[in-house]
Each structure stands twice: as C-alpha cells, then as structure tokens.
Amino acid sequence: PVEFVDGYGVRLIASKFPSSIMKGEMAAIELDTVNTRSDEVKSAIVVPMTEGLLYQPSEYYIGNMRPGDLYTAQFKIDTSNVKTGINNLDFKVRYKDANGYQESDVCTLTLNAVAMEAANTNTASSGGFIIPIVVILVIIAIGLVLHIRRRKRKM
C-alpha cells in the first residue's frame, strides 16, 4: 500500500514495485514524480529516506519540472539488509521554487521480505521441478535400454 498526504506541490506516486521479494535479491522500484503546482520547480531530486539499504542510484535527479510534468524515477534496492517481514520504504522529492528549497510529502512503499531459507523450504517440500525432471530421465533411460535390447535381438 502507498501512503501520501494530499498536498499542492510535487508528488510521488508508486508506479511499479514488488509487494514481496526474497531477502537478498535486488528490488526494482519506479516512482512517478508529478508537478501539480501552477509554476515551475527547479532541481527536483527523488531521495530515498530509509536508512541501511543500498539504493542504485543513491538519489535520482530529475531537474526542472514545468506544471503538469511527470517523470519516472527508477531505483534498484539491494534487500540483503532488510529485516524479514514487512518493511516500509520512504521516498521524498526535494526541489526549489520561488520561496527556496522545499520537500514533498513522504511516499511510503510497503515491501514484504521473505527469508531465502523459507522460500527454499517451500520449493523443496512441494517437489519443485526436480521430481518431474527425474521422472522424465528415468523414462528416457528405460526407453533407451529397451531400444538397445531390441537391436541386439534383431542381429
């Protein structure tokens, strides 16, 4: 779920993000940045606020935004340091207007991090794709043995 406070200014809207991810994987996040003001803003930068995570890039520079402009900021997040379970990822936009530097309301994304061991246990307990592969290999081996025996009998 996405939280944002209605406001007049530059806003962040989550456009693409996983609701769940395996801990240790890279998460791809896209945030739409919209200038809902009636005037231009300058030097807009999308800034991740959740500490302890590695974001690539560390900030996303947008630049000047005319009224109504929409730009998409893309981040990759290394989830090795997130705690297992529900995590809130916070972002905001810093920009300059006629009154100086401003900040947008915080946009919060909720990410559920699943432990790698739990995911592997689920795959192993359900048989995953290993059992069908073993069955197919056994059938091929039996067919090959029968084929070789028939060829020997014909000789």
44-76 confidence digits (pLDDT tens): 999 999 888 889 999 999 999 999 999 999 999
* pLDDT, greater one: 90 or 144: 90
Q: Domain total for the chain? A: 2
Q: What is the mean pLDDT of residues 100-107?
A: 92
* Same domain for 91 and 49: yes
* Same domain for 124 and 74: no
How much is the pLDDT for 71? 96
Q: Is the four-CA dihedral 133, 137, 138, 140 of positive or negative sign?
A: positive
Look at the chain and count its residues: 155
* Same domain for 123 and 62: no
* Same domain for 121 and 99: no
* Same domain for 138 and 96: no
Q: What share of the chain is helix, strand, coil (3-state, %, to 5)?
A: 25, 45, 30
Q: How far apart are the first and last CA of the chain?
A: 72
* Same domain for 71 and 5: yes
* Same domain for 71 and 6: yes
* Same domain for 120 and 69: no
Residue 4's domain comprises 1-114
Residue 73: CATH number of its domain: 2.60.40.10
Distance CA 23, CA 81 (A): 8
Structure confidence at residue 3 as a pLDDT band (50, 70, 90): very low
* Same domain for 79 and 146: no
* Same domain for 77 and 12: yes
CA atoms within 13 A on the CB side of 80: 3
How much is the pLDDT for 126? 53
How much is the pLDDT for 4? 44
